[in-house]
């Protein structure tokens, strides 16, 4: 067979008996580790998928775990096992990328009203750009960043990412001398740093830690770093913004980036680039320039249109033009990936059903999460009048429950499989947002707000590690950058786009409510009269209900995912019984 990542074709006489033996072996493996030994053809379908006998996952409890690796051959060796003294520094230096990435995201979330006062911003549309521009860059430039790591070494790109992150954090701090537009542009350029860091950190985990519990724990630690980083970023940014001067939160981050870059240089092992797999005369992998140009440009234009619409509304012709141009470029991008390149940024043809289900759940769930986080801070700071420090303290339980949920992912996936974990995560997304959508202004923090803050980390820290585990094990070692890029792109880009659409809904609903109250022009943020607070609450709730709809869609997709995997299990059991 000439297809990549496929096992040799079996003769017609031995196919059935070999499949039966394979199922029995996989069932035994699933009882000990719940990990299929050759599930790579499920998450990442090979070119001859229909005839590839390795496409049968394990049965029993975990047919949809999909955490196996391609067969152990000379061209695809298993990473050597490491002891805990080697693994702890490695896990720390890779997980800190996720920690500081989400810390930087919350730099403009918790002190949002401090920044609004400094830049004299009087509308939510411009405020949302402070966070949306960062997420847009992270979600967009992650795609080529993972590919660059696969080609030139993940450690090299990882170190470059820290340097870029540090430089633009310094420049963003000096944006205090300019206006809010320049500040948003600096935030967008700052986001390219995490775009280089996150997929290559995930790829390093996938390439270095052996398949099984060690890799699963590595991804769980990476997921747990998210809420810890978000909480730390919110708390320290609020402290510096209110007690010192807000630019210091960017300058302190820059110093941390330089320190981590030095540690990463010393801790991370030198990489041995994987040999080209396939025929002897196969060409080495190349960079997909046309895919990068069309994909990045299309994603940026679409995101810009969605996040600019809350400012000028859809009546502005250039917003529709940006959206149309972005959609055209994305169509060209998919054409390029399918027909015009041998080394695509996204292996569209090879994405199996399980991968598509998981990524779609990520999009719907994390779009609702971005709305939840942004409007929760606005609700607490503007409608309830809390300071940035108090709001950060009230959201700090995210760190505790987030870590607990992240490490429970290992057990849940081994016990139930990815599809059930995704359904639990989507349910947490919906319940967490639903609590805020029905929350009144004058209510104790310990009721709906506290419960929502406790529940939402379950959504984040179950879905993200589960998707990373699935794609990391579905793709071979030399494509771990692509695996990491796909998940991180979906997470960050959906956050940014979700904020844009929610901002548009907020603007239209608030404007309609203001007209009914006799207010013609949009009320400024500095006006905190009870009448305007009631109008703003209407807009916030409309955005929350939109997030509820997003997460409910994710629940429906996860339900179908469960149905597909259960049907597969039953088919395998029937085949095994007949044999």
Predicted pLDDT at 237: 94
CA distance 451 to 432: 8
β-strand partners of 44: 351
Q: Is the pLDDT of residue 128 over 60?
A: yes
Predicted pLDDT at 477: 63
- Residue 301 tokens read as 């234009």
Residue 73 phi, psi (nearest 5): -125, 175
Q: CATH number of the domain that 405 lies in?
A: 1.20.1250.20
Q: Which of 306-315, 466-475, 495-504 has the lowest mean pLDDT?
A: 466-475
Three-point CA angle 91, 95, 98, nearest 5°: 170
The SS3 call for residue 13 is coil
Predicted pLDDT at 380: 94
User: Count of H helices and E strands in the chain?
Assistant: 19, 0
Residue 18 burial (10 A CB sphere; 0-12, 13-18, 19+):
middle
Instruction: Please check whether residue 335 lies inside any domain of the structure.
Output: no
CA distance 219 to 412: 14
CA distance 578 to 574: 6
Residue 213 phi, psi (nearest 5): -65, -35
Q: Is the pLDDT of residue 60 over 90?
A: no
Instruction: Please check whether residue 190 lies inside any domain of the structure.
Output: no
Q: Is the pLDDT of residue 66 over 60?
A: no
DSSP-assigned states of every residue in 425-438: HHHHHHHHHHHHHT
- Residue among 330, 347, 329, 247 nearest 288 (CA): 347
For the segment 500-514, the average pLDDT, to the nearest whole number, is 91
For the segment 114-133, the average pLDDT, to the nearest whole number, is 89
Instruction: Please check whether residue 136 lies inside any domain of the structure.
Output: no
Residues making up the chain, counted from first to last? 579
- Residue 251 tokens read as 């300058």
Range of the domain at 368: 84-108+210-244+352-567
CA distance 325 to 216: 41
DSSP-assigned states of every residue in 120-164: T--SHHHHHHHHHHHHHHHHHHHHHHHHHHHHH-HHHHHHHHHHH
pLDDT in tens, 394-418: 999 998 898 888 888 878 888 888 8
Higher pLDDT, 503 or 147: 503
The SS3 call for residue 76 is strand
CA distance 198 to 139: 10
Question: Count of alpha carbons within 13 Å of 327, Cβ hemisphere only?
Answer: 8
For residue 338, what are the CA distances in angstroms to 196, 344, 356, 531?
Answer: 25, 8, 16, 55
Q: Which of 15-19, 202-206, 244-248, 307-311 has the lowest mean pLDDT?
A: 15-19
How far, rounded to the nearest angstrom, does the alpha carbon of residue 493 sit from its chain's CA centroid?
A: 8
CA 231, 489, 283, 48 dihedral sign is positive
Predicted pLDDT at 83: 64
CA distance 194 to 197: 5
- Residue 518 tokens read as 């006799």
Instruction: Please check whether residue 32 lies inside any domain of the structure.
Output: no
Instruction: Please check whether residue 63 lies inside any domain of the structure.
Output: no
Higher pLDDT, 543 or 5: 543
CA distance 249 to 176: 12
Instruction: Answer for the pair 502, 540: CB distance below 8 angstroms, yes or no.
Output: no
Instruction: Please check whether residue 501 lies inside any domain of the structure.
Output: yes
The SS3 call for residue 343 is coil
Higher pLDDT, 269 or 188: 188
How many structural domains compose the chain? 1
Instruction: Please check whether residue 463 lies inside any domain of the structure.
Output: yes
DSSP-assigned states of every residue in 502-565: HHHHHHHHHHHHHHHTT--SPPPTT---HHHHHHHHHHHHHHHHHHHHHHHHHHHHHHHHHHHH
DSSP structure class, residue 340: I
Predicted pLDDT at 47: 35
For residue 379, what are the CA distances in angstroms to 39, 134, 170, 441?
Answer: 45, 22, 30, 8
How far, rounded to the nearest angstrom, does the alpha carbon of residue 353 sit from its chain's CA centroid?
A: 19
DSSP structure class, residue 313: -
How far, rounded to the nearest angstrom, does the alpha carbon of residue 87 sit from its chain's CA centroid?
A: 24
CA distance 466 to 43: 13
Instruction: Please check whether residue 70 lies inside any domain of the structure.
Output: no
Instruction: Answer for the pair 108, 343: CB distance below 8 angstroms, yes or no.
Output: no
Higher pLDDT, 69 or 574: 574
For the segment 539-563, the average pLDDT, to the nearest whole number, is 95
With DSSP H G I counted as helix, E B as strand and the rest as coil, what are the percentages for the chain, rounded to 5? 75, 0, 25
Instruction: Answer for the pair 206, 149: CB distance below 8 angstroms, yes or no.
Output: no
- Residue 265 tokens read as 């240089």
Instruction: Answer for the pair 125, 310: CB distance below 8 angstroms, yes or no.
Output: yes
- Mean pLDDT across the chain, nearest whole number? 81
CA distance 468 to 462: 10
């Amino acid at each position: 067979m000439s297809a990549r990542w496929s096992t040799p074709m079996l003769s017609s006489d031995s196919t059935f008996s070999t499949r039966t033996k394979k199922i029995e072996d996989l069932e035994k493996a699933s009882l000990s580790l719940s990990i299929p030994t050759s599930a790579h053809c499920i998450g990442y379908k090979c070119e001859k998928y229909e005839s590839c006998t390795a496409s049968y996952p394990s049965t029993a409890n975990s047919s949809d775990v999909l955490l196996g690796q391609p067969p152990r051959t000379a061209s695809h060796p298993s990473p050597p096992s490491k002891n805990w003294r080697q693994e702890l520094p490695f896990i720390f230096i890779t997980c800190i990328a996720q920690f500081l990435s989400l810390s930087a995201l919350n730099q403009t979330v918790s002190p949002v009203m401090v920044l609004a006062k400094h830049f004299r911003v009087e509308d939510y549309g411009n405020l949302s750009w402070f966070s949306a521009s960062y997420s847009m860059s992270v979600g967009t430039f992650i795609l080529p960043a993972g590919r660059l790591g696969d080609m030139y070494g993940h450690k090299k790109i990882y170190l470059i990412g820290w340097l870029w992150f540090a430089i633009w954090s310094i420049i963003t701090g000096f944006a205090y001398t300019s206006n809010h537009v320049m500040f948003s542009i600096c935030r967008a350029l700052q986001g390219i740093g995490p775009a280089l860091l996150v997929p290559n950190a995930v790829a390093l985990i996938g390439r270095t830690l052996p398949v099984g519990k060690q890799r699963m724990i590595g991804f769980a630690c990476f997921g747990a770093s998210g809420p810890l980083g978000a909480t730390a970023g919110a708390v320290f940014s609020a402290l510096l913004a209110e007690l010192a001067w807000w630019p210091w939160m960017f300058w302190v981050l820059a110093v941390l980036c330089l320190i981590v870059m030095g540690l990463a240089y010393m801790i991370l092992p030198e990489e041995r680039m994987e040999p080209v797999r396939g025929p002897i005369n196969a060409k080495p992998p190349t960079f997909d320039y046309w895919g990068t140009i069309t994909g990045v440009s299309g994603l940026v234009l679409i995101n810009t249109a969605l996040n600019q619409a809350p400012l000028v509304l859809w009546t502005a012709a250039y917003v529709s033009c940006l959206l149309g141009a972005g959609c055209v470029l994305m169509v060209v991008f998919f054409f390029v990936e399918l027909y015009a390149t041998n080394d695509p940024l996204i292996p569209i043809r090879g994405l199996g059903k399980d991968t598509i289900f998981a990524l779609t759940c990520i999009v719907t769930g994390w779009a609702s999460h971005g709305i939840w986080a942004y409007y929760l801070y606005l609700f607490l700071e503007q409608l309830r009048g809390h300071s940035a420090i108090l709001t950060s303290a009230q959201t700090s339980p995210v760190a505790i429950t987030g870590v607990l949920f992240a490490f429970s992912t290992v057990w849940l996936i081994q016990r139930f499989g990815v599809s059930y974990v995704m359904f639990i995560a989507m349910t947490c997304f919906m319940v967490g947002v639903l609590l805020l959508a029905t929350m009144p202004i004058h209510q104790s923090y310990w009721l709906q707000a506290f419960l929502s803050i406790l529940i939402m980390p379950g959504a984040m820290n179950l879905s993200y590690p589960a998707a990373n585990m699935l794609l990391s094990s579905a793709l071979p070692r030399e494509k771990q950058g692509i695996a990491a890029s796909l998940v991180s792109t979906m997470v960050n880009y959906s956050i940014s786009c979700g904020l844009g659409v929610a901002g548009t809904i907020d603007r239209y609903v608030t404007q309609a409510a203001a007209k009914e109250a006799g207010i013609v022009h949009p009320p400024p943020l500095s006006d905190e009269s009870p009448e305007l607070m009631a109008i703003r609450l209407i807009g916030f709730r409309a955005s929350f209900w939109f997030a509820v709809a997003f997460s409910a869609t994710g629940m429906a997709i996860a339900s179908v995912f469960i149905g597909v995997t259960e049907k597969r299990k039953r088919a395998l059991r029937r085949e095994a019984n007949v044999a």
